[in-house]
Chains A and B, each alone.
Chain A
Amino acid sequence: MFSFVTKRLAFAVLTLILVLTLVFLIIRILPGDPALMILGDQASAASIAALRERLGLDLPLYVQYGQFLQGAIQGDLGNSMVTARPVAEEILAVLPYTIELTVAALTLGVVLGVPAGMLAAVHRNRLPDYLVRCVSLIGLSVPAFVAAIGLLMLFAIHWRWFPVISAGTGDTLFDRFRQMALPTLALALIMMAYITRVTRSAMLEVLSQDYVRTARAKGASQATVVWKHALGNCMIPITTVVGLYLGILIGNSVLTEIVFSRPGLGKLILSALAQRDYTLLQGMIVVYTMMVIVVNLVTDLTYGLLDPRVQYK
C-alpha cells in the first residue's frame, strides 16, 4: 500500500513537471510575441523591448525554463501583468468559490445520477429506462453555458425564484443556498448524465451475475439486492467516471461562473484574457491542470477503499 501511494505520488509529480513544461512551451514557442500581444500592434519597438526584458523574455530559453520551473515548484507563479500581485495569491483568493461549486455539483450529480442509473437498470427497456436514458443523453449533449442560461431564464428571470447574479456571498445560509442553487444545478445536470449512464451499465452487468441470483433465491427483497448486494460492486466504474469527468466539470465551471457572474477561476481567466495578462493565464492553466492531476491521484487511491479485492501493486 505504502509503495503504491509513493509510486502514484511520484507519477503525479512527474506528470506535473511535464505539464509545466508543456505550458511553458505553449506560451513561449507558439507564434506571436507575448510582449507584442500584451502591448498591441501600435506599440513602439522600445516599449516592446522593455516589456520583454521585464518579463524575462530576452533571456535564453533554458534559463527562462529553469526559472519558471523553480518558481512553480515553490508555488511562485509569477506576478500578474495587470495588478502586479502574485498570481498564486490572485488564484487562491477565488479558488474556494470554484471548488465549492464543483464539489456541490459533483455531490448533487452523484445523489441524482446513481439512483437514476439504478432505476433505469432495474427497469431495463421499460418506460423509466427510456426516460432516464433520454434525459442523460440530453445532459451529455447540452453545453454547460446553454444549461446555465436555460436555468437562468426559467428560474431567475421568468419565475424569479433565484437571484440572477450569484455573487457568492450571502448573509444567511439560506441566501447562500439560493445563490448556489442554479450554478450547482447547471453543472450537476451534466455530471449526472455521465454518472447515470455508467451506473446503469455497471448495474446491468452486476445484476446478471450469479451472486445476485443467489441473493434473490435466498429471498432477499429487491431493495436489498439492488442497494446492498449490487451497488457496492458498481462503485469502481462509478468512481472512475467521476474522476474522469471531474476534469470536465472543473473546465465547465468557467462557463457557469461567467453566466451567473459568480466569482471564481472562470471570471478570473476571463479577465486575464481580456487584459492579456499572460502570466495570470499561464498560472491558471497550471492550477486547472494540477486540480485534474490531484483528482486522478485521489481516484486511484480510492479504488482500494471501495473494493478490498483491489491490490495496490
Chain B
Amino acid sequence: MSAPVTEVRPNEKLKRPRSGLLARLNMSTWIGLGILTALVLSATFAPLLATHDPLQQSLMDQLVPPGAKFLLGSDDLGRDIWSRLLYGARYSLAIGFLSIASAMAVGTPIGMVAGYLGGRTDIVCMQVMDVILAFPTLILGLALVALMGATLPNIVIAIAFGSMPSFARIARAGVIAQRDREYVKACQTMGFSGPRILFRHIMPSILPELMVISTLWMATAVRTEASLAFIGLGIAAPTPTWGGMVRDGFDNILGSFNLAIMPSLAILLLVLAFNLIGDGLRDAVDPRLKDAS
C-alpha cells in the first residue's frame, strides 16, 4: 500500500476540485454573461463612451454612413447612432430587469401561498393567473400601455403583469413539492408561522428555479419592450430606445439599411445573452434537463 494517495504536489494545491454553481456553468453561459456585462457597462458608462449627444440633431448630417464622424452612421435627423444605442441600452436593460423583478416579487408570493394553503385559495389564485396567461404577452402589453400611456413605469407594469403568472406557477409547483417534506412538518410542529415557513424555509429550495425562469423571462421582456417601441408604444421620442430606433430605421429603409440593422443587432445580442444565461443556469441548477436545452 505504497500509493501516495495523500501526496499533494505544490502546483496541484491550487487546483481544488471546483464545486458550486459557477463551476457547473458551461461555456455558452459565460459567453452570455460576457455579452450582458459588456452591455451593462456600456449603458452605465454611456456618457463616457458616447461620441455625441444622443438627442442632438444635425440636418446637415442626415443618414451619413459609418465613418470617422459618426462611428455607426447617423439617423434621418442627423443623430449619432452609436451614442443613441448606448443610451438606449439603459432603457432596454432597466425595463428588462425592473419588469421581471416586479413580476417575480408579486407572482412568487401568490403562487407560494396558493400552493401552501391549497383548496379554494389555490383554485381562485391559479384561475386568475391562467386567465392572464390566456392573453398573448405582446397584445396584453400593447393594450395596457395604450390605455395607461407609454411611460417607463407603465411599460414595466404592463410587461410585469403579463409575466407574473409564470412565476406564480413555478412557485406554486415548487411549494407543492416541498410542503409535505419532513423539514416543513418539523417547522409546523414547532409552531412556526405560515409566512416564516414559506419565505424562510421553503423559499431557498425554489429560488434556483425562479432565477432560471426570471433570466429567460428577461429575454422576453426585452423583446416585448422593443416590439412595443417598434409599434410606437415605447417611451416617447426623442428618448432613444432600441425598438424605436428600429422603427426609425424601418421608415427610412430605402435610404439606409444601417439605421435599422444596428439597433436590431443590439436587441438580438441582449436577448441572446439572457437566453444563453438562462439555458446555462437551468443546466447547472438541474443537470437532468441538460439535454433539453
Contacts and interface: CB of A to CB of B under 8 A. Distances in A.
Interface string A189-208: 00000000100110011000
B30 interface: no
Contacts of A255: 138, 227, 230-231
A149 B260 contact: yes
A23 B131 CA distance: 10
Given A32-B147, A251-B138, A273-B146, A204 B291 contact: yes
Given A18-B127, A255-B227, A273 B232 contact: yes
B139 A141 contact: no
A270 B276 contact: no
Contact of B136 (A124, A200, A288): A288
B264 interface: yes
Contacts of B249: 149
Contacts of A258: 230-231
B293 A197 contact: yes
Given A137-B272, A145-B246, A251-B138, A153 B257 contact: yes
Interface in A108-166: 124, 133, 137-138, 140-146, 149-150, 152-153, 157
Contacts of A150: 264
Given A138-B272, A141-B271, A153 B131 contact: no
B257 A146 contact: no
Contacts of A296: 134
B139 A251 contact: yes
A143 B271 contact: yes
Most A CB contacts (10 A, CB to CB) among B127, B134, B223 go to: B134
A116 B138 CA distance: 28
B59 interface: no
A254 B131 CA distance: 21
Nearest to A237: B292
Contact of B134 (A27, A144, A146, A293): A293
Given A32-B149, A269-B142, A285-B139, A153 B260 contact: yes
Interface in A240-297: 247-248, 250-252, 254-255, 258-259, 269-270, 273-274, 278, 281, 284-285, 288-289, 292-293, 296
Contact of B246 (A19, A23, A146): A146
A187 to B, nearest CB: 13
Contact of A15 (B130, B140, B146): B130
Nearest to A285: B143
B136 A292 contact: yes
Interface residues of B, number: 47
A288 B226 contact: no
Contact of A143 (B132, B267, B292): B267
A26 B147 contact: yes
A45 interface: no
Interface string B225-268: 01100111100000000010010011001100100110010011
Contacts of A22: 131-132, 135
Nearest to B254: A157
B233 to A, nearest CB: 7
Contacts of A144: 227
B253 A153 contact: yes
B189 to A, nearest CB: 36
Interface in A192-231: 197, 200-201, 204-205
Contacts of A248: 136-138
A251 B224 CA distance: 10
Interface string A64-96: 000000000000000000000000000000000
Contacts of A278: 147
A141 B219 contact: yes
A289 B264 contact: no
A310 to B, nearest CB: 21
B148 interface: yes
Nearest to A146: B264
Given A138-B268, A146-B246, A288 B148 contact: no
Contacts of B214: none
A297 to B, nearest CB: 11
A258 B231 CA distance: 8
10 contacts: A15-B131, A19-B134, A32-B147, A137-B276, A146-B264, A153-B253, A201-B293, A251-B139, A255-B138, A255-B227
